Amino acid sequence: MKTKQRSPSITLQSSNHDEPREPEGQPPGLSTLSVHAGEDRQKVAHAITDPIFVASTYTFANTKAVIDYIEQKQPREEYGRYGNPSERVLERKLAALDGGESALVFSSGMSALAVLLLAKLNAGDEVLFFDECYHRSREFCAKHLSRFGVTTREVRACDYDALEAAVTPRTRLLISESPTNPHLSVVDLERFAEIGRRREVETLIDATLGTPFNIQPISAGIDYVLHSATKYLGGHNDLLAGTLVGTAEQLEPVRKLRGITGAINSPHNVYLLERGLKTFELRMQRHNENGLAVAEFLAGHPRIEKVYYPGLPSHPYYEVAKRTMRGFGGLVTFLVRDADWQQTARVVDSVRIPRIAPSLGGVESLIEQPLVMSYYECSPEERRQYGIADNMIRLACGIENSVDLIADLKQALER
């Protein structure tokens, strides 16, 4: 049976993490959490920022101290593969942002997913995906977990009847992104969670594109929230990291396996991620503003055939997005009218502000042609199966001024 997650206690004043307390009145806002959650008020050497701990091992005063650590499960470090003091600060902050009880930090989003699946699945088990999930996530299951007797099945994104019909007594996990990439389909989180709860199957939402600013899957009843923190959480295109949020009980076997596999992050990346989070809400406000402005411009341009953006009334999941999302993010996918892949590539090559690159969520705008960047080695039939059109462009709006991004797109489309 599922364990109900409790709202996390937010440490804003106390240095004792066993007895944290919130200020009286309203709960802290997202920026307040981004800046202060999980941190001691007074830090080492009275610095306002948390130090970077580069130790690979931690010492004990004597043998009794080792025994006390083991028997009393004291909250201190032993070896770098099992934890780092600044990593624990970051994990408390991430749990607070997602409204979860506990969080884990990994070397990447993919390592977060891989360790979770390895910790939770056994031979004979099944995992169900919506078919618009990140293709590497599905590939890991279909090509690699299958070698260990785990079955992966896919159903059409947001088809909840098909999802429930696909559940069997062997199903252990339901997985989706929300919004999906690159089509930006939006999952009805409560309905997704309800199917899992009723069928006693755990649920996971990859909220990389949604972010804790725009969606809160935990409050909708989802068991696990995954982020590629490389994207919006880090926000500066300068680190790789992944996070999982859930209950302490559900994440404990995942934590132990992370320590065994060594899928941890470096002290410097932990520092960069914590620093990036300080401006998280401010950045997301601009990402949301830019995404919507660019999507509205493209939707009215004669050279654009279609725009995928959940903030547009034309999007098939617009009503779900309005109900479940605070904002709609900075990612905009669109099709160039009457263009083959070479003509589409010329549009990509003609922009001056966005860089041509994979990834998203950083302060710099990035642009790519999915056919070339991610699906070049796939057959036309496979690309059709994945919904990747020859004339598709994915634009990840950064935090530049929207008028400049729009002017740049206008000149590129008119060339």
Residue-by-residue pLDDT tens, the chain, 415 positions? 454 454 444 444 334 444 345 556 788 999 999 999 999 999 999 999 999 999 999 999 999 999 999 999 998 999 999 999 999 999 999 999 999 999 999 999 999 999 999 999 999 999 999 999 998 999 999 999 999 999 999 999 999 999 999 999 999 999 999 999 999 999 999 999 999 999 999 999 999 999 999 999 999 999 999 999 999 999 999 999 999 999 999 999 999 999 999 999 999 999 999 999 999 999 999 999 999 999 999 999 999 999 999 999 999 999 999 999 999 999 999 999 999 999 999 999 999 999 999 999 999 999 999 999 988 888 889 888 889 999 999 999 999 999 999 999 999 999 8
Task: Identify which of 166, 157, 164 has the alpha carbon closest to the alpha carbon of residue 187.
Answer: 157
Say what the pLDDT of residue 5 is.
Answer: 54
- Contacts of residue 87, defined as CB under 8 A and 6 or more positions apart, other chains included, come to 105, 264, 265, 267, 270
Give residue for tokens 């990389």.
208
Give the number of other CB atoms < 10 A from CB of residue 265. 24
Helix (H) / strand (E) containing 336? strand 331-336
- Contacts of residue 10, defined as CB under 8 A and 6 or more positions apart, other chains included, come to 20, 22, 27, 28, 33, 36, 37, 38, 96
Task: Identify which of 351, 347, 405 has the alpha carbon closest to the alpha carbon of residue 371.
Answer: 347
Question: How far apart (Å, rounded) are the C-alpha atoms in residues 139 and 130?
Answer: 13
Say what the pLDDT of residue 22 is.
Answer: 55
> What DSSP line would sit under 232-252, residue for residue?
TTT-SS----EEEEE-HHHHH
Question: How far apart (Å, rounded) are the C-alpha atoms in residues 331 and 335?
Answer: 14
Helices 280-299, 402-414: axis angle to 10 degrees equals: 30
Q: Are 340 and 380 in contact (CB under 8 A)?
A: no
Question: How far apart (Å, rounded) are the C-alpha atoms in residues 366 and 348?
Answer: 10
Domains of the chain by start residue, with CATH:
85-277 (3.40.640.10), 280-414 (3.90.1150.10)
For residue 310, cis peptide bond before it (omega within 30 degrees of 0): no
